[in-house]
Amino acid sequence: MPVKIATFNVNSVRARLPVLLRWLQEESPDCVALQETKVEDAKFPLAEFLEAGYTVSHHGQPRYNGVAFLSKRPMEDVTTGFGDPDWPEDCRIIQGTYQGVKVIGTYVPNGTAVGSEKFAYKLAWFERFGRLVRERTSPDDPVVWLGDINVAPRPEDVFDPVKLEGNVCYHPDERAALARLMEWGWTDCFRKFHPEPGQFTYWEFFLPNGFKRNLGWRIDHVYASPGLVERCTSCTVDKEPRSWERPSDHTPVIATFGT
């Protein structure tokens, strides 16, 4: 049976609960990686997801960050963070195995402002994440890395590449950091099927009618390892939830993998 694996930055799982539950019912993904859940583990809305037919693995903190898995079958071997005492536990990484596929969900630091300490942390985070991947996985393994990556890698991935060049999430240093990660063997599943511009996953709230005018960024990605990419039969951006009442500023990306 094909497996549908998705990523969705919900920008608060409790605020976006009606949107998320509706989307789960309509789309019925097998496994979803969530980002920006913005809730500590004790207050995660477990009951609602269990009633919807999903098990939950979550790693959260109050008000900021937070990652989780929703899955029709329990995730196996779930771990969180870098497992490195030299790095802060800021609830950005969750890993597990779903039906034989290693799934790595991430909420990459935004970087806030070019030249800031947070921007330097973002670049260092990418380097440390690359080490994590090399230490724990092999390109021959079936591995998916997905989430809010907070980088638009190519000019086609932003609504105005000339105007936005050098901004956070479309800065050459960030694109170079992501490119170094890609050398491990990752394939951008969406671009495998959709080379055209204008396909976005994030539209800022503060831009007037930004979603209707499609003033967006493609910063939510699904990557597959060489050991899995040939099994990827589709990858789509589902824009519908962004048009619903009280939406997240992001929308889901869904990849389907054959057995």
* Active site members: 107, 148
| Residue 84 · residue 96 · CB < 8 Å | no
**Whole-number Å distance between alpha carbons of 115 and 74:** 42
The strand pairing partners of 253, in sequence order, are 7, 237
User: How far is it, in rounded angstroms, from Cα 213 to Cα 16?
Assistant: 23
What backbone phi and psi angles, to 5 degrees, belong to 57?
-125, 125
- Among 10, 8, 63, CA closest to 40: 63
User: Which among 146, 39, 63, 149 is positioned nearest to 98, based on CA atoms?
Assistant: 146
With a CB cutoff of 8 Å and minimum separation 6, the contacts of 116 are none
CA angle, residues 57, 60, 65, in degrees to nearest 5:
120
Going by C-alpha positions, the residue among 84, 51, 79, 85 that lies closest to residue 67 is 79
